[in-house]
A and B are shown apart, each in its own frame.
Chain A
Amino acid sequence: MGQKTTLERYGDKGTALGRVRGLGSAKSGTHHWLMQRFTAVGNLLLVGFLMISLVLLPNYSWITVRGWLAQPVPATALALIMINTFWHARLGMQVMIEDYVDSPGNKFGALLLVNLAVIGGAAFGLVSIARITLGTV
């Protein structure tokens, strides 16, 4: 490790690329990528279950749909969908924002809104499922 990095040689002057050259990877980039894949597989199973269930339901009346969703397996699947799809959507929207929103301020604001929206949305879904499963509507 006798070789100095660009940063050690020139301090924090130079271009953005020059400042990071020689430092190796950021070490955290793979987490986003992996989580996108893990949640993708989860979505494949969970939303697949939802789509097949929607086909098999005899009708879409409140009594039928509520009775179906009040059972443990559908309720668990929907609860997991709330966590998994919103997580996957958050990662995907983040990439879209990073690609299309150039100014740092707007990017920060957009990412902030996405994070608040997905956590709020997932929480609302989980509370609704809890009420359907445990409540006495």
Chain B
Amino acid sequence: MAERPLSPHLQIWKWGPHMLVSILHRITGNALAFVGLPLLLWWLGAIASGPAAYDTFLGVVGSIPGVIVLIGLSWAFFNHMSSGLRHFVLDIGGGYEIETNKRWSVGTTTIGILLTVAFWAAIALF
């Protein structure tokens, strides 16, 4: 890389909700790719391998650290889903006005958390 002056970056800008929703979209997407998908494969592989392998899987994801990871992954999914839907709106040219953009940045992040709570409440209920 050529040594050139760098443009001002994270340290210079005042943080706003649009920056949070942007970096959360990237973090949750990569968490789903690096942790969620391998876990999904382990689940399928364990089901295919038989009851003993499946019990090993259940023992790990059913432990307290395992459940914390599952809750984190479900939040990653719902957060990525709701900020992804925000991207579709931005793609068609909507939601760029500062107040609207701010409102939906906070909105989609909040919706992601609410859906996670609703998901686990539904699992407990049904």
Main SS of chain A's interface residues?
helix
Q: Enumerate chain B residues within 8 angstroms of A69, measured Cβ to Cβ.
A: 44, 47
Q: Is the CB of A129 within 8 A of B44?
A: yes
Indicate whether A51 reaches chain B with its CB closer than 8 angstroms.
Answer: yes
Indicate whether B110 reaches chain A with its CB closer than 8 angstroms.
Answer: no
Q: Is the CB of B38 within 8 A of A121?
A: yes
Indicate whether B126 reaches chain A with its CB closer than 8 angstroms.
Answer: yes
Indicate whether A102 reaches chain B with its CB closer than 8 angstroms.
Answer: yes
The closest CB in chain A to the CB of B120 belongs to A55
Indicate whether B21 reaches chain A with its CB closer than 8 angstroms.
Answer: no
Binds A, one of B11-19, B49-57, B99-107: B49-57
Partner of B48, one of A44, A92, A121, A132: A132
The residues of B with any CB-CB pair to A shorter than 8 Å are 1, 26, 29-30, 32-33, 37-38, 40-41, 44-45, 47-51, 54-55, 58, 74, 77, 81, 84-85, 87-88, 91, 119, 122-123, 126
